[in-house]
């Protein structure tokens, strides 16, 4: 599916613009904007890094899922080059995290990565092919 148009905007800025929506993305955006104003919104290049930083601060469950849902919506509204850039960065971050937790199998030439990381990588690569 080819993409025409779209926006060229940073994820955080796009997210902050969503803060008046009446859904879970709007609530996540409102919270993120409040954190930004208090200067505690984590600066990160990838969603994976941002989620990891939020987990370190004790955030769990619905806010993390809403942030991920917002990120996927963001990917759908930005220009193709911006989407590709973020998808590739994200795939690299997910792979790096997965490999840091991977277990070597037998001779050390093969590794087992966790299922959640494998699923995220599949989704990221499928989206790259789609755009």
Nearest-5° Cα angle at 73, 67 to 76: 150
Q: Which of 100, 93, 101, 103 is nearest to 124 (CA)?
A: 93
Tokens of 122: 């599949």
- Exposure string (b/e) for 15-30, b if CB count within 10 Å is 16 or more? bbebbeeeeebebbbb
* pTM of structure: 0.87
What are the extents of the domains in the chain? 11-130
pLDDT by 10s per residue, the chain, length 131: 455 568 899 999 999 999 999 999 999 999 999 999 999 898 899 999 999 999 999 999 999 999 999 999 999 999 999 999 999 999 999 999 999 998 888 777 888 999 999 999 999 999 999 98
Q: Which of 78, 103, 2, 86 is nearest to 50 (CA)?
A: 86
């Amino acid at each position: 599916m080819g993409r025409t148009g779209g926006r060229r905007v940073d994820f955080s800025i796009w997210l902050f613009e969503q803060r008046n929506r009446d859904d879970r993305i709007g609530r996540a955006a409102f919270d993120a904007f409040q954190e930004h104003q208090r200067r505690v919104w984590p600066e990160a290049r990838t969603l994976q890094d941002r989620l990891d930083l939020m987990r370190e601060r004790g955030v769990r469950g619905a806010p993390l899922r809403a942030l991920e849902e917002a990120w996927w919506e963001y990917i759908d509204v930005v220009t193709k080059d911006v989407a590709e850039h973020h998808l590739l960065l994200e795939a690299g971050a997910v792979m790096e995290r997965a490999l840091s937790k991977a277990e070597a199998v037998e001779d050390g030439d093969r590794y087992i990565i966790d299922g959640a990381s494998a699923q995220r990588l599949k989704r990221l690569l499928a989206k790259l092919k789609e755009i």
